[in-house]
């Protein structure tokens, strides 16, 4: 059995064309795997003669350091294809996790609100360095602006648009990201993003961005952490509500291995338990009033808080 693995960017029409060509060239039982980070697997497989042999295998950057692979099944992906993809990931020394098909899948769906909220904080006057340093101190492997520059601002903006189309107002696309794409400020690959990049070093912030700030104000570190980290917890709870992943332990493993969430905090939902779900719901309700609908607490968080439940079992 053969397997063709593709990484073609976020152009759906190009992917359809290439997958059809692959199907004509490969042996009859070959599997086609896509590294798409956000596009629906069933949609990508829709024009294939054998959609049962199509699957998503989403690796995380940098691939040599991030051990997670999301295994995403489409509506018609068969068990043989799933087993082959899982086996291949393990042979590569990776940790596979099967996730349900949904826009953004699991890790990106949770991580994008964090990145977008950082950009919205910037628009409201927060300093780029202040936000990055605050979240580094929290334990993230890099600040959200450094991460956006590393991944590519254009990639982040495209994924944010896909999630906005899927989930509506709670997945806002910050204006600053669109403006940066128009200006060609795409991050490390163009030498200019949120920071100026020279060789392997990132130096000063991109001073041109200051014109895109709506106002100038300082934010306390606690506010930065609440708005970014609670955004992730809230979306993660929705993923559990929708059975995107089997349980909180798998979700935490995925966020540690795929997004670099600090392992010393036990994972995202373990951290939620430590904070207390009643406290989280109270803070989200306050942010909902002051910042908008995107902070409306998920029903799962509200229900668990009312019942004094925790994600890892027992009462809070």
CATH of the domain at 132: 1.10.1040.50
Question: Which residues are catalytic, by number?
Answer: 58
CA-based max dimension of the chain: 61
Domain boundary among 99, 130, 148: 99
Which of these ranges, 57-66, 79-88, 94-103, 251-260, has the smallest mean pLDDT? 57-66
pTM greater than the 0.95 cutoff: no
The answer to whether residue 106 sits within a structural domain is no
The answer to whether residue 108 sits within a structural domain is no
Where is 99: in which H helix or E strand?
A: strand 95-99
Do 143 and 90 fall into the same domain? Answer: no
Q: Which of 207, 202, 206 is nearest to 142 (CA)?
A: 202
CATH of the domain at 57: 3.40.50.720
User: What is the sign, positive or negative, of the torsion defined by CA atoms of 173, 267, 283, 124?
Assistant: negative
Question: What is the average pLDDT score of the chain?
Answer: 91
How do residues 171-195 score in pLDDT, each as one tens digit?
Answer: 988 999 999 999 999 999 999 999 9
Do 94 and 117 fall into the same domain? Answer: no
How do residues 19-48 score in pLDDT, each as one tens digit?
Answer: 777 777 777 788 888 887 777 889 888 888
Do 188 and 316 fall into the same domain? Answer: yes
Range of the domain at 36: 3-99
Is 46 exposed, middle or buried (CB count within 10 Å of its CB: 0-12, 13-18, 19+)?
middle
Whether residue 2 is predicted with pLDDT greater than 60 in this model: the reply is yes
Do 209 and 265 fall into the same domain? Answer: yes
Do 64 and 125 fall into the same domain? Answer: no
Q: At what angle do helices 248-259 and 221-241 cross, to 10 degrees?
A: 130
Do 202 and 275 fall into the same domain? Answer: yes
% of the chain residues with pLDDT over 90: 71
How do residues 190-235 score in pLDDT, each as one tens digit?
Answer: 999 999 998 766 669 999 998 888 788 899 999 999 999 999 999 9
* Structural contact between residues 176 and 119, judged by C-beta atoms closer than 8 angstroms: yes
Domain count, the chain: 2
Per DSSP, the three-state class of 276 is coil
Domain boundary among 72, 99, 126: 99
The answer to whether residue 104 sits within a structural domain is no
The answer to whether residue 107 sits within a structural domain is no
In whole angstroms, give the CA distance from residue 22 to residue 68: 26
In whole angstroms, give the CA distance from residue 159 to residue 163: 6
* Structural contact between residues 105 and 70, judged by C-beta atoms closer than 8 angstroms: yes
Q: What is the mean pLDDT of residues 263-269?
A: 97
Do 276 and 161 fall into the same domain? Answer: yes
Do 79 and 120 fall into the same domain? Answer: no
Where is 110: in which H helix or E strand?
A: helix 107-123
Do 165 and 297 fall into the same domain? Answer: yes
């Amino acid at each position: 059995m053969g397997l063709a693995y593709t990484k073609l960017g976020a152009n759906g029409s190009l992917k359809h064309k290439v997958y059809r060509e692959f199907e004509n060239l490969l042996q009859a039982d070959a599997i086609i795997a896509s590294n798409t980070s956000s596009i629906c697997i069933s949609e990508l497989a829709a024009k294939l003669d054998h959609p049962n042999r199509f699957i998503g295998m989403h690796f995380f950057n940098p691939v040599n350091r991030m051990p997670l692979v999301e295994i995403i099944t489409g509506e018609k992906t068969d068990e043989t294809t799933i087993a082959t993809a899982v086996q291949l990931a393990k042979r590569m020394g990776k940790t596979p996790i099967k996730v349900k098909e949904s826009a953004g899948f699991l890790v990106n769906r949770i991580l994008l609100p964090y990145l977008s909220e950082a950009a919205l904080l910037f628009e409201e006057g927060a300093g780029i360095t202040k936000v990055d340093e605050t979240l580094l101190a929290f334990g993230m492997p890099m600040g959200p602006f450094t991460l956006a520059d590393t991944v590519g601002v254009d990639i982040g903006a495209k994924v944010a648009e896909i999630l906005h189309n899927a989930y509506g107002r709670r997945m806002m696309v910050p204006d600053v990201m669109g403006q940066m794409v128009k200006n060609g400020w795409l991050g490390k690959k163009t030498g200019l993003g949120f920071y100026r990049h020279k060789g392997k070093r990132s130096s000063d912030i991109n001073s041109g961005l200051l014109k895109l700030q709506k106002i100038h104000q300082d934010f306390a570190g606690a506010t930065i952490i609440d708005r970014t980290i609670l955004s992730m917890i809230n979306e993660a709870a929705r993923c559990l509500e929708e059975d995107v992943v089997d349980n909180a332990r798998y979700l935490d493993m995925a966020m540690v291995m795929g997004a670099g969430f600090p392992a010393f905090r036990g994972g995202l939902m373990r951290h939620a338990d430590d904070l207390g779900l009643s406290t989280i719901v109270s803070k989200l309700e306050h942010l909902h009033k002051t910042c908008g609908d995107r902070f409306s607490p998920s029903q799962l968080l509200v229900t668990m808080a009312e019942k004094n439940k925790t994600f890892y079992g027992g009462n809070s």
